[in-house]
């Protein structure tokens, strides 16, 4: 493939590592750019003018062991239609979910069911640097909790998924709505790990938090926190998908990739997402068909299962 890249040096290394898999999936001349960054948008316009394909790159859902650009990357999303977090336009993931016929592919659905169990067992998320919330820590953290626990997920200020995710309300408004809809519940606000690490700013000022909403500044594995919740409110955070994987109820103020398919309570609607999908179908599309996986230690292409086991330390 004749490819032109509009990426930083660090991102060039990532694209180069996955290049053989990209070449296998797409043929012909193409430009590649990262997400909806300004340089990437300019490259998209150039590709359109040349009549070339444009491939939009982003980190996959199972990304790395830790935070930061210096981490070894296990998965990459390459989208030839749009990108999953841009709800203003179609994406390849959306096309798979809208047009795919999963009901006759039992092998794929069985693989999705196995994949869901792998994530529940190993608690593998996008970033996997944070320790699991231990039983005694959870007991102390939720000592005064009521029967129902509601988690509100804060995100980073300026996040692209907020700009392009058709967000219907602010985090402050989402907190107030959660309180109105769950007046007898204990409410908690989760701060993004990049904010806790001092890398980015939050989309909410914790000092303005109502007294009846408790701030969670602990950086822990998201699955180990979500296990203690009954309901999750988010705008476009990936934690909403992880909550669905654990069988939690999820309310979305925006349009993340997992919203609009009948699995979440949505404040916004997109006509393109008219089909109802099961959790296994959503997982199969988003985790098995959409990204490409690579083991950076062995320097070989791999499958979803291999990436999960490699990050968890359970690779055999």
d(C-alpha 80, C-alpha 193), whole Å: 30
| Residue 69 confidence (pLDDT) | 65
d(C-alpha 307, C-alpha 296), whole Å: 9
Residue owning tokens 């904010």 = 195
Per-residue pLDDT for the chain (316 aa), expressed as one digit of tens each? 666 666 666 667 788 889 899 988 888 888 888 888 877 788 888 888 888 889 999 999 998 887 766 578 899 999 999 999 999 999 999 999 999 888 789 999 999 999 999 999 999 999 888 889 888 888 888 887 778 999 999 999 988 899 999 998 999 999 999 999 999 999 999 998 888 888 889 999 988 899 999 999 888 999 999 999 999 999 999 999 999 999 999 999 999 999 999 999 999 999 999 899 999 999 999 999 999 999 998 889 999 999 999 998 855 4
Is 227 in contact with 132 (CB distance < 8 Å)?
Answer: no
The dihedral built from the CA positions of residue 218, 130, 12 and 42, taken in this order, carries a sign that is: negative
**Half-sphere exposure for 190 (CA within 13 Å, toward CB):** 27
**Measuring CA to CA, which residue among 239, 236, 243 is closest to residue 259?**
236
| Residue 136 confidence (pLDDT) | 81
| Residue 316 confidence (pLDDT) | 44
**What DSSP letter does each residue of 70-83 carry, written as one string?**
TSPP-EEEEESS--
Is 292 in contact with 78 (CB distance < 8 Å)?
Answer: yes
Domains of the chain as residue ranges with CATH: 3-84+290-312 (no CATH), 125-275 (3.40.50)
d(C-alpha 170, C-alpha 97), whole Å: 28
Residue owning tokens 């709505």 = 177
C-alpha triplet 87, 40, 195: angle, nearest 5°? 70
**Measuring CA to CA, which residue among 314, 222, 236 is closest to residue 270?**
236
């Amino acid at each position: 493939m004749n490819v032109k890249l509009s990426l930083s040096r660090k991102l060039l290394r990532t694209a180069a590592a996955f290049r053989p898999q990209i070449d296998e999936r797409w043929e012909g001349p193409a430009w590649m750019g990262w997400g909806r960054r300004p340089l990437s948008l300019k490259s998209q316009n150039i590709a359109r003018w040349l009549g070339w394909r444009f491939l939009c790159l982003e980190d996959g859902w199972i990304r790395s062991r830790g935070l930061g650009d210096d981490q070894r990357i296990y998965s990459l999303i390459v989208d030839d239609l749009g990108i999953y977090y841009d709800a203003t336009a179609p994406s390849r993931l959306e096309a798979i979910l809208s047009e795919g016929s999963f009901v006759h592919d039992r092998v794929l659905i069985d693989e999705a069911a196995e994949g869901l169990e792998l994530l529940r067992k190993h608690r593998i998320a996008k970033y996997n640097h944070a320790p699991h919330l231990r039983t005694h820590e959870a007991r102390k953290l939720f000592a005064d909790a009521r029967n129902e626990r509601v988690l509100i997920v804060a995100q980073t200020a300026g996040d692209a998924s907020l700009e392009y995710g058709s967000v219907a309300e602010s985090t402050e408004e989402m907190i107030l709505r959660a309180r109105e809809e769950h007046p007898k519940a204990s409410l908690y606000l989760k701060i993004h790990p990049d904010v806790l690490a001092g890398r980015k700013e939050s989309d909410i000022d914790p000092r303005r938090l109502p007294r009846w909403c408790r701030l969670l500044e602990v950086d822990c594995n998201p699955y180990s926190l979500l296990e203690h919740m009954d309901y999750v409110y988010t705008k476009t955070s990936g934690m909403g998908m992880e909550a669905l994987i654990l069988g939690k109820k999820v309310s979305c103020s925006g349009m993340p990739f997992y919203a609009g398919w009948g699995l979440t309570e949505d404040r916004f609607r997109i006509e393109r997402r008219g089909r109802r999908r099961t959790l296994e179908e959503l997982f199969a599309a988003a985790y098995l068909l959409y990204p490409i996986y690579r083991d950076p230690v062995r320097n070989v292409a791999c499958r979803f299962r291999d990436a999960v086991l490699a990050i968890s330390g359970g690779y055999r």
